[in-house]
Amino acid sequence: MDTASILPMVTGPGAQNAELGTDHERALDQFLGALSADGYAGDVARDMASRLVAATDNSIYQVLPAAVLYPREGEDINRVVRAARSDPERPVSLSPRGGGTGTNGQSLTRGVIVDVSRHLNRIVSLDVAGRTVVVEPGVVLDQLNDYLKPHGLFFPPTVSTATRATIGGMVATDASGKGSRIYGKTSDYIESLDVVLSDGSDHRAQRLTAAELDEMLKGEGLAADIHREVLRVVTQNASLIDEIFPRMNRGLTGYNLKNVRRDDGGFDLAYLLAGSEGTLAFTKSITLRLIQRPKLRALVVARYGSFDAALRDVRHLLAAEPSAIEILDDKVLAVARTDVIWTGIAAVLGQAGSPDGMAVEGLNFIEFVSDDPDELRQRTDAAESILRTSMHPASDWTVVHDPGVISQLWMLREKSVGLLGRLPGRRQGTAFVEDTAVPPERLADYVAEFRAVLDRHGLSYGMFGHADVGCLHVRPALDMTLPEDAALIRPVSDEVAALTKAYGGLLWGEHGRGYRGEYSPFFFGPVLYAELCRIKTVFDPLNLLNPGKLASSDGRVPVDRIDAVPLRGEFDRVLDFEHRRDFDRAVACNGNAACHTWDASDAMCPSYKATRDRVQSPKGRATLLRTWAQLKSRESRGEAIGAELAEIESQTKLSLDTCLSCKACASQCPVRVDIPAMKSRFLTAYYRTRTRPARDRLVSHLEGMIGIARKLPRASNAVLRAPIVKRLVSRVLGLVDLPEFSTSSGIQGRIAPPNVIARLPEEIRARTVIVLHDSFLGSFDTDVIEAACRLLERLGYHVHVTPFTASGKAQDVLGISNRFVETAERATRMRKAYASLGVPMVSLDAATGLLFEQEYARCLPTDAAPRPVPGIERFLLDEIEAGRIGRKDARGGEAFRILLHCTERTARPETAAIWQRVFAHFGLEAATPSVGCCGMAGLFGHQVEHAATSRRLFVMSWRERIEAVNRDRVLATGFSCRCQVKRLAGRRPRHPIEAILACLEGHA
């Protein structure tokens, strides 16, 4: 029987929500029953939301699994494998999953996904002297190297998805990336692999001496059988292996027959397992060799008038012995100029790629590393000498030594994949021939022919990659919802495969094969491919492990063909105009999983970081919103899909309920998947046919109620403090720890509507500043407004405050769109009235100020959109640079630490540097450390059901920052952040403006 999967192959747009057949349900139930009986301690997810989120990776494919497992301990993997084979007549297929960043469907399956990222993510032990580390497979690459940094060590192989790619996944694909020319691949650093074989037994794959190999060959059991068969294959086919495996940095991965047998007669099965993509065994634990981290780096950024010139210069630049040469084309640069990343690198790249700048079609990033500054200088000098005398001259170049700028430039390179998913129009950079590799000396000629292939098919494309090792990433622009575009996958793949082979290269040079396994016979040849199938058979006779990829187990179930696997774009063809328009960013999500970053100090995505549940991430929510939009489109055409729609609608709502609406995804996601905006639209539609909860109705009027209660702050506070009121608010409305009203009334006398400002003499109006009086600062934190007014007056300005201004933020978050539009229109009229007088307006809280340029601009007609309201820090810096604010040396003492609101930090990344420059102008020192979400996010932290998550987020990122220094030195720009710190740390941090004022007044 077909043992490839417990699920049938289904490809239609409606198939993703299809119920399992009775036999398959029975097999799954039996498997899960056996798993439970064996003491499995992990999580099991059979809900449609979890399955849908696991149905995609960073590839073009979409394959719905039967279930998703999250093992909690290493022994759980043994239990999973034993349960999968508990009924030999109906074995359950298993596919391992790490970061889910594969570009070729490596972890997709119609069977059961085993996701190690949620729990198996511990760094087990470190031997500094021996330079080895033991990790579980779910440890993230950046997590590991961050842990190793204090010890001066690192794990060298790197990938552009290092913030979420797992070590287990890197082993599975034998990953490498920037720097592989000198550092090699993952397999070069494997000391040993602890794996679970297909019979459920443990085995440690490590280098064996000739004597140890002989002892293994005499043994019994599956491990001994495997060693005997692999040894036979590599011995009998030694000359053929030597002939077929290319002699270049990027070898023929999956299965690496070339390096298993050592020259000294030894044997290392880890080389075979690395790159096998989970088809031979499950990785349980990994011991890695480490090396010393280089102390110094320099980067030469060379600009070229043509991409071909940049490519051809690489051969000559290698003589300078760089650690890496990475290349980018003009399409990547053009999109990068619209990304938040450009702020930190514009000074180096200048106008590269801009319409009005010099014509730059190629960039080479040439990196050098060393522990010796003289050696580093000699190498950069050598590179500059080559650039000056090259036959393919660069237009110009810059040598960068600043570690921060170098990191920003490499971040641009890392984001290239995502940036090509944000091209203008429906056709986006698409991964399917994205990692070809050829000998580097032939790269330029190869690329010329590659471009000719794409040009023949009328495709535009972006190119970037590891030019020093001949590996180029190419993303042809396709609209996969169009059948004619999807149909190009086959001919382009076939032509590129033939081209790479003709140049002595590979179709898969870095990202593994996945569903491209059908090309294995073409590159390995019929004899070696047959041997690969025999190896697969001895490892996995029941075809349990990631079937359909790389090689067939005994030929019974062939590997999947690239055009026989469901494509993600197929499911989007049902979208009608309205839902495609409103949820276009959900459709645009390409699965790059930047939202799954491990680092708690990264702003995106707080709900994922708190739960490690991918359903509660931007990718997860985009997947559910996209599926819901598909079903709504089908419903609008009269299809009877009530049960499917109800299930998805409910699970989408649950996922969105945990979204903090911080908007980090709107700017940090490479393709700008703006979940808060789509959440608002979804909730608007959701409640068209439902009654809103009482709390939602109350919150929609909250700012109006605040405006009344703030007039009697002491009485209002007395009511809020009453125990019976607290209990009532908690039980009925589900709200806790509400802030108290400010009792200071110092700003009342400063309020001046536009008609009052209009009557001011022109010379006074020229030095007048208007402070935005938002409902939250103006009700609960008036000290900040008062401090801003006093500071500006001290600097020589006339200061007035707007009347109490409702923002409507809560209305937008809840999807109460009609009221939000009304609120936005009122606020916009006010803004325009002041703007017409030529008087600058500043905001003191980014969450409010950004509404004018983001949410209001989104919901109002283009001609009615308001002007942005800059933050006070931007106003101060502009005035300083214009010479209108003289230097003033304040008494500040030790350095301040400014913690930025996460919305501000992601939407206005330049803010950190602006605050530092403003503080420096007043003789003050300030640092702006990276920090994640504080966990408050407006009302989120006050809601009973989110209290635990709110506290967890604070502990994950903010508590350490607060406790690390004198609390008087900690400043917070966000109103919500200050509330959270006061609630959970017992003391309200000041706004930066308050600190500057206090220092100028001599009482810092």
pLDDT tens string 157-195? 999 899 999 999 999 999 999 999 999 999 999 999 999
> pLDDT, tens digit, for every residue of 593-637?
999 999 999 999 999 999 999 999 999 999 999 999 999 999 999
Burial of 837: CB neighbours in 10 Å, binned 0-12, 13-18, 19+ = middle
User: What region does 908 belong to: left with phi over 0, alpha with psi -120 to 50, or beta?
Assistant: beta
- pLDDT of 358: 59
- CA dihedral sign of residues 229, 234, 236, 241: positive
- pLDDT of 10: 31
Residue 71 tokens read as 């093992």
pLDDT-derived band at 942 (thresholds 50, 70, 90) equals very high
- Range of 3-7, 402-406, 675-679, 882-886 with top mean pLDDT: 675-679
- pLDDT of 864: 76
Omega before 605 within 30 of 0, i.e. cis = yes
- pLDDT of 5: 33
In 3D, which of 379, 464, 380 has the Cα closest to residue 415?
464
Mean pLDDT, all residues of the chain: 92
Q: Which residues contact 884 (CB under 8 A, 6 or more apart)?
A: none
- pTM, rounded to two decimals: 0.93
- pLDDT of 998: 94
Q: Strands of 768-771's sheet, edge to edge?
A: 798-801, 768-771, 841-842
Run of H or E including 35: helix 22-37
Reported residue count of the chain is 1004
Q: Name the DSSP class of 614.
A: G
Task: Kindly state the average pLDDT of the residues 780-801.
Answer: 96
Task: Kindly state the average pLDDT of the residues 661-688.
Answer: 95
Omega before 255 within 30 of 0, i.e. cis = yes
Whether residue 697 is predicted with pLDDT greater than 60 in this model: the reply is yes
pLDDT-derived band at 555 (thresholds 50, 70, 90) equals low
In 3D, which of 222, 382, 392 has the Cα closest to residue 303?
392
Whether residue 8 is predicted with pLDDT greater than 60 in this model: the reply is no
- CA dihedral sign of residues 307, 310, 311, 312: positive
- pLDDT of 391: 84
Task: Kindly state the average pLDDT of the residues 649-673.
Answer: 95
pLDDT-derived band at 887 (thresholds 50, 70, 90) equals confident
First to last CA, the chain: 78
DSSP string for residues in 878-929: HHHHTT-S--------SPEEEE--HHHHHH-TTHHHHHHHHHHHTT--EE--
Task: Kindly state the average pLDDT of the residues 269-290.
Answer: 97
d(CA 168, CA 9) in angstroms, rounded, equals: 28
Segments in 710-842 forming alpha helices (H)? 713-721, 723-728, 754-758, 762-765, 777-780, 782-794, 809-813, 817-835
Residue 716: HSE in the Cβ half-sphere, 13 Å Cα cutoff: 17
CATH of domain 888-1004: 3.40.50
pLDDT-derived band at 11 (thresholds 50, 70, 90) equals very low
Q: CA angle at residue 857 from 853 to 862, to 5 degrees?
A: 130
DSSP string for residues in 386-450: HHHH-SS--SEEEEE--HHHHHHHHHHHHTHHHHTTS-SSS-EE--SSTTEE--GGGHHHHHHHH
Per domain, the residue ranges of the chain are 15-118, 123-292, 423-510, 574-690, 888-1004
Q: Do domains 123-292 and 574-690 have the same CATH topology?
A: no
Greater pLDDT, 582 or 868: 582
Task: Kindly state the average pLDDT of the residues 11-38.
Answer: 72
> Using an 8 Å Cβ cutoff, are 288 and 126 in contact?
no
Q: Name the DSSP class of 954.
A: I
Whether residue 558 is predicted with pLDDT greater than 90 in this model: the reply is no
> Using an 8 Å Cβ cutoff, are 24 and 85 in contact?
no
- pLDDT of 20: 54
In the block, residue with structure tokens 């593994």? 512
d(CA 57, CA 107) in angstroms, rounded, equals: 8
CATH of domain 574-690: 1.10.1060.10
> pLDDT, tens digit, for every residue of 185-236?
999 999 999 999 999 999 999 999 999 999 999 999 999 999 999 999 999 9
Question: What is each CA distance from 661 to 189, 289, 594, 678, 703, in whole angstroms?
Answer: 41, 42, 17, 10, 18
Greater pLDDT, 958 or 263: 958
> pLDDT, tens digit, for every residue of 287-335?
999 999 999 999 999 999 999 999 999 999 999 999 999 999 988 888 8
- pLDDT of 1004: 65
> Using an 8 Å Cβ cutoff, are 21 and 596 in contact?
no
d(CA 776, CA 847) in angstroms, rounded, equals: 11
Whether residue 798 is predicted with pLDDT greater than 90 in this model: the reply is yes
Whether residue 141 is predicted with pLDDT greater than 90 in this model: the reply is yes
CATH of domain 15-118: 3.30.43.10
Burial of 517: CB neighbours in 10 Å, binned 0-12, 13-18, 19+ = buried
DSSP string for residues in 479-519: -TTSHHHHTTHHHHHHHHHHHHHHTT-BS-SSS--GGGGGG
d(CA 879, CA 883) in angstroms, rounded, equals: 6
- pLDDT of 842: 96
Whether residue 53 is predicted with pLDDT greater than 80 in this model: the reply is yes
Q: Tell me, what amino acid is at 7? A: L
Greater pLDDT, 684 or 346: 684
- pLDDT of 250: 74
Residue 521 tokens read as 């016979």
Task: Kindly state the average pLDDT of the residues 799-818.
Answer: 94
- Bridge pairing between strands 970-972 and 896-899: parallel
CATH of domain 423-510: 3.30.70.2740
> pLDDT, tens digit, for every residue of 368-421?
999 999 999 999 999 999 999 988 888 889 999 999 899 989 888 888 877 888
d(CA 102, CA 165) in angstroms, rounded, equals: 9
Task: Kindly state the average pLDDT of the residues 811-836.
Answer: 93
Q: Name the DSSP class of 945.
A: G
pLDDT-derived band at 348 (thresholds 50, 70, 90) equals confident
- pLDDT of 17: 40
pLDDT-derived band at 21 (thresholds 50, 70, 90) equals low
pLDDT-derived band at 75 (thresholds 50, 70, 90) equals very high
Q: Which residues contact 750 (CB under 8 A, 6 or more apart)?
A: 771, 789, 799, 800, 801
Residue 728 tokens read as 């009532």
d(CA 64, CA 56) in angstroms, rounded, equals: 8
Run of H or E including 872: helix 872-881
Look up the CATH architecture of domain 123-292: 2-Layer Sandwich (3.30)
d(CA 75, CA 95) in angstroms, rounded, equals: 17
Q: Name the DSSP class of 10.
A: -
Q: Tell me, what amino acid is at 853? A: E
- The residues facing 207 across adjacent strands are 268
Q: Which residues contact 550 (CB under 8 A, 6 or more apart)?
A: 254, 255, 276, 277, 279, 513, 517, 520, 532, 536, 559
- CA 594 to chain CA centroid, nearest Å: 1
pLDDT-derived band at 13 (thresholds 50, 70, 90) equals very low
Burial of 973: CB neighbours in 10 Å, binned 0-12, 13-18, 19+ = buried
d(CA 256, CA 274) in angstroms, rounded, equals: 8
Q: Tell me, what amino acid is at 660? A: L
Whether residue 347 is predicted with pLDDT greater than 90 in this model: the reply is no
- The residues facing 990 across adjacent strands are 971
What HEC string does 315-341 produce?
HHHHHHCCCEEEEEEHHHHHHHCCCCC
- pLDDT of 89: 81
What HEC string does 112-133 produce?
EEEECCCCCCCEEEEECCCCEE
Burial of 917: CB neighbours in 10 Å, binned 0-12, 13-18, 19+ = middle
- pLDDT of 487: 96
> Using an 8 Å Cβ cutoff, are 283 and 168 in contact?
yes
Phi and psi at residue 227, to the nearest 5° = -65, -40
Q: CA angle at residue 721 from 934 to 954, to 5 degrees?
A: 10
> pLDDT, tens digit, for every residue of 711-755?
999 999 999 999 999 999 999 999 999 999 999 877 888 999 999
In 3D, which of 260, 291, 290, 289 has the Cα closest to residue 274?
260
SS3 160: coil
Work out the percent of the chain whose per-residue pLDDT is above 90.
81
- pLDDT of 968: 87
Burial of 259: CB neighbours in 10 Å, binned 0-12, 13-18, 19+ = middle
